[in-house]
Structures are given as C-alpha cells and as structure tokens.
Amino acid sequence: CASAAEFISVLSFWGPLKADPKSYGEVVLQRLFETKPDSQKLFTKFADLPKEQLQNNPDLQAHGGIVLCKLTEFLQGGGRDKKTLKDLAESHAKQHKIPRVYFQIISDVIFEVVVEKIEGFGTDAQTALKNVLKTFQTQMGEFYDELGFDD
C-alpha cells in the first residue's frame, strides 16, 4: 500500500491534471481504447464509435473529466476515504459491469500518460504514482470481493 508521503508526492505534481481534468482525461480514455479496444465496448455511449469520432468528442472529454476528478478526489483522500471507492466499485461492478482487470489496464495507461505529459515527474514520484495506483486497484478489488463480483 502507498504511504501518506507517496500520496503527497503524487499530489505535488498533480496540479496540471487537477486544473484541466477534461484534456488529460480525454487522452487517458483515447489511449485506453487504443491499447485495449475491448474496453471501448464496455461504454454504451462510445461502443460503436469509429476512431475518428473519438477525436474532439465532447462526450468523451466530459467523461474523461469525470474520471480524472474522481481520481483527484481519491488522491486528496490519501487512500483513507473509503466511501469514494466503495461507491465507485459498486457502480462499476453492478451497473457498468467492468471486470477488475480493466482497472489494471487503465492504471497503466494513467501512469504512462502522466509521466509523458507532466514535466518534472521524476523517478521517486513515478514510484509513488505506481504505488498509489496499486492502492486504488487493491481497494477497488476488495470492494468487488465484498460485492461478490467475481470478474
């Protein structure tokens, strides 16, 4: 599990993502769909869109913003705010039916995008980010277990 210092380290570089969640979120979702085309099928509203229609798509930007804002909320909670992730696990398991492996995939994508786009994200902060994303996944997995969602 990530330490409090690791959450702080990641937050110290998170300013640009917090200030512009839509743009970064858009890139994350585009990269997710590109890396793992299956993931696009899990979104009713994006499933049938060809690649060109994922460019400058206000819906995709809006959803990217929602995802990034929630991630920022998780970071600011230092991993201690269980309610945020519990609600997220509940909607993703029961409503959206997202198998947990996709949280691994999106974590890898987030890591890649952040390191690529954010200036000065050095090796210590990178390790911290990896651990923080791992904590996110582990806690989501625990709630998935509680809900009895096996995928």
For ligand MNH, the binding residues (CB under 6 A) are: 39, 42-45, 66-67, 70-71, 88, 91-92, 96, 98, 102-103, 106
Q: Which is nearer to ligand MNH, 39 or 135 (CB)?
A: 39
> What angle, rounded to 10 degrees, do the helices at 58-76 and 21-35 form?
110
Report the nearest approach of ligand MNH to the CB of residue 132 (Å).
11
Of 42 and 147, CB closest to ligand MNH: 42
Closest residue to ligand MNH, Cβ-based?
91
| Nearer CB in complex with ligand MNH: 15/41 | 41
What Å distances lie between residue 111 and 31, 46, 126, CA to CA?
Answer: 11, 23, 8
Using CB atoms within 10 A of its CB, is residue 102 exposed (0-12), middle (13-18) or buried (19+)? middle
The C-alpha atoms of residue 98 and residue 144 are separated, in whole angstroms, by: 10
Min. distance of Cβ 126 from ligand MNH in angstroms? 17
Nearest residue to 85 (alpha-carbon basis) of 21, 5, 76: 76
Least Å distance between CB 143 and ligand MNH?
12
Minimal distance, residue 103 CB to ligand MNH, in Å = 6
User: Three-state SS for 44?
Assistant: coil
Tell me whether residue 2 or residue 92 sits nearer to ligand MNH (CB atom).
92
